[in-house]
A and B are shown apart, each in its own frame.
Chain A
Amino acid sequence: MGAILEVLGRPDFAELLRTHVLLSAAALLIGIVIALPVALAIRNTPLGAALAVNVGNIGRAVPSLAILALCQPFLGFGFDTALVALTALAIPPILINASTGLREVSRDVIDAARGMGLSGSQILTHIQLPIAAPVIFAGIRTSAVQVVASATLATFIGGGGLGDLIVEGTQRNDTAILLAGSLSVAVLAIITEVGFGTLEWAMTPKGLKLAQKRTR
């Protein structure tokens, strides 16, 4: 146990952790910046939405290692390549959820709002987005956890991150290093899951929370 703490105290551990978090955060942010506008743009076209969901579902089936590995022959080793691959992995859950969430806002609610004289964009900002927010956020949360987990694999294409520690521990048959790496990644993933879960709960408009409580 003490040996594990020793590894965590190593100067390069902080660097690896920093790279891991940076990779994940950047991939998630860029993924959101790409996926959300797309979902917004197609929210009123059933064909576009269906396409988005299908592409998203296929995207979710792609193994993380495959995407990371595929980028390597084209983009080389390093942080940037890993970022591109992780961004590609981040997009599908957000795209699916945002697209579905926006489209599933009940027609009645939208009609009522239109009846009250709200314009299209007002409906979007005041009605659709708030109602879809929890679903969209669930997608972001799924994406975040997946990105943090996949960032571990960045080590295989020279992207750095905590995966380096796991590989080092495996190569050197050093349980302390191995566990230090594995446990810190696990903890990071759990923190991400719980953290975003809390944010998701905070994002749910009060009315929806009450409604959800009633149906439980």
Chain B
Amino acid sequence: MKNRTKLIRAVPALLAALALLTLTACGNVGSSGGSGPSAEDGGPAITVGSKNFTEQYVLGELYAQALEARGFNVEKKLDLGSEQIADKALQNGQIDLYPEYTGTSLVDVLGYEGEYPSTPEATYQKAKELYAKREPADTMLTPAQFNNTYGVFVRKDVAEKYDLKTLADLAEVSPKLAFVIFSEFKNREDSYPNMQKNYPAFDFGDIVIVNSIGGPIYQGVLQGEGDAGVGFTTDGQLASDKLVVMEDPKNIWPFYYPAPVVRSDVLKKNPKMKGILNEVSASLNAETMRELNAQVAIEQEDPEDVAAEYLQKKGIVE
């Protein structure tokens, strides 16, 4: 009995201790692996975010590590579920920059409703212009010079069975097939609706929605959960001879060139960032990106290691 009374007396003390623990440690929970910025190090504290698919992990790590090597105190938040979430985090200061795609930002973030600009440069300029007009303003830096657009693909046996070569072919037989996609693809204007707009016959019999673009979609199609899927043209998996990518003679997608989007006030305070980030972007091309992505997605290496190795090879980091 006496022990119990002691137990009960201890409870408020325990709770107070835990409450204190909560308040002090609150910031640490949720960050995905980078160490928190510390005042003693002297470098300005920057939080780099990214969405949560392979290429984003790699780009996020590349930018974060380059900044870190040049004296910034970088915290990484590489688990933002979509451009909407990332953008929200950017605008309310939870992150300072993240890698976005010119086309994506135009269509899905900046609310642009016109015709897709006809050149990559025009796409970038339009996005940059709209970003600068926001409140708080953002700066979209110079994009890396390659297009990472959607590649709609089918399993080889499906392609052979229906003799599928182009998106138009696929559209014709789509009611008989299952399409594996990620959540936003279903209703975003530049995604499935875009396919339907340009090839009205698209009406897949079944749509399987998986958690993320990339791995799960390839897995789903290869294992037979679906017959067709959508990936990125920089995905290593699309090189496989087990998959056939559908041709798109109409060029229905906007241009998706990757570029870091930084909040303008942060950039103003740290002008050095511009040069560092641009150096990383300039070093990338489609081949390199594909290889980096493949190392993560197919060989299951850690994005952090893959990025570190690349930056060293390119001389951006010692």
Q: A residues bordering B, Cβ < 8 Å?
A: 12, 76-78, 155-158, 160, 164, 167-168, 170-174
Contacts and interface: CB of A to CB of B under 8 A. Distances in A.
A171 B183 contact: yes
B211 A172 contact: no
A168 B88 CA distance: 15
Interface residues on B, range: 20 to 34
B184 A164 contact: no
Contacts, number: 61
A172 B82 contact: yes
B264 to A, nearest CB: 21
B220 interface: yes
Interface in B173-196: 180, 183-184, 186-188
Nearest to B210: A158
B208 A78 contact: yes
Given A170-B81, A170-B85, A77 B183 contact: no
A174 B82 CA distance: 12
Nearest to B85: A173
Contact of B81 (A155, A158, A171): A171
Interface string B214-227: 00100110011100
Given A76-B223, A76-B225, A155 B184 contact: no
Contacts of B312: none
B209 interface: yes
B31 interface: no
Contacts of A173: 82, 84-85, 87-88
9 contacts: A76-B219, A76-B220, A77-B180, A158-B209, A160-B208, A164-B183, A171-B184, A173-B84, A173-B87
A77 B210 contact: yes
